[in-house]
Copies of this chain bind each other. A is one copy, B any other.
């Protein structure tokens, strides 16, 4: 199959079949989101009842539309899908997004097979069935059927999230947007009747705006295709995968969810081990790892120097680095130590962690970072800033940003706290500096990223 999915992500015109005048209906919501999302192409609402929706004329059939249609979105009951696909064929629409559910996930294997056969015989491509839709932050294509007040859309960025499960996709997309993660694409592919996760991964491999791929997968039909695709794509772009149904009981639940076999967990562990795919153990971890790739485009080295104004946080960080697989503690060069000793208060212990102690001010961070910047023994700097300490002012933000501008080393910030902390963290994130709440989580994510680069080299 030719993996040009261009028409799904940047179509010049879209027909929404099942566009309804009734707010709340899937077809209505997709129309609304396309308009509110400022999609720039043409939108043709289709509904056999005719009338008008959101100020646009409803066509009774796609065959009544004169213009060329790049993408058809089907938001109609399952039993109408096949007849509408036949119309799509007549209208020479080769890309179809099928939101409709009611197929093998409820035991209706036969109908799904018929749809599949029709698509393949006629060389039409479909994403779905039984899916949430597509979101592309760059082409302003918002073909999700959940209203924006319930599901915040992320800003433009480098993450693409490929998700079998619609509800996980929706919840995580909402959370990711809320937490400031930025996206290229979100694709919910449901039952994978035609296009499956492998096809989408192949497309994303060459998609310019996708820097890192997050993948939630339950069942895989074609294991060999999946393995080969992961092997190839993960060489070029990091893929972070979370697998649902790894346990026996979870695997049973997969069957009734997307109607697919979950597969033995050994098979998946094998795939993750033999490819460069990063296996996330939880949803939280998936996005923590993604945020590192999103913000740090170059290779993240594994010799970590910790700089802190909270002794305890320094200690927990050192514990986590020691317990990691792929990270090691940087050992500052003699020259750096000498310079730091000359400039920092006598009581500060020059080592790793470099504990600037509770009365540290921004100037002290500046001294530390200026020295570490030139130390060849350090790859990555983990800067812990606790804004609760007395002499830290928001000037420390500029010190950290300045380090990022001037240094080639990777930089990760840990900052724990409430409103004041979040406000300042946001300023760092705007400059693409990853900020974590907890040292343990940051280091776990860093460990997996370092493991990825180890496998590459």
Q: Which of B151, B244, B388 contacts A388 (CB 8 A)?
A: B151
Q: Is the CB of A441 within 8 A of B284?
A: yes
Interface size class of A (residues with CB under 8 A): 35 or more
A313 at the interface (CB under 8 A from B): yes
- Chain B positions within 8 Å of A396 at CB level: none
Q: Which of A32-40, A45-53, A402-410, A413-421 contacts B (4 or more CB under 8 A)?
A: A413-421
- Assuming A167-B312, A315-B257, A417-B178, is B322 touching A283 (CB within 8 A)? no
Q: Which of B146, B150, B216 contacts A312 (CB 8 A)?
A: B216
Q: Is the CB of A316 within 8 A of B283?
A: yes
Q: Is the CB of B257 within 8 A of A314?
A: yes
Q: Report the copy number of this chain in the oligomer.
A: 2
Bound CA span A258–B315, Å:
11
Q: Which of A62-70, A85-93, A168-176 contacts B (4 or more CB under 8 A)?
A: A168-176
A371 at the interface (CB under 8 A from B): no
Q: Is the CB of A311 within 8 A of B178?
A: no
A434 at the interface (CB under 8 A from B): no
A256 at the interface (CB under 8 A from B): yes
For A281, the closest partner residue in chain B by CB is: B440
Q: Which of A3-11, A195-203, A247-255, A290-298 contacts B (4 or more CB under 8 A)?
A: A247-255
- Assuming A106-B347, A151-B417, A355-B257, is B322 touching A171 (CB within 8 A)? no
Query: Smallest Cβ distance from A252 to chain B, in angstroms?
Result: 8
A365 at the interface (CB under 8 A from B): no
List 5 additional contacts besides A175-B418, A178-B417, A245-B319; criterion CB under 8 Å. Answer: A101-B358, A164-B312, A171-B421, A242-B316, A245-B315
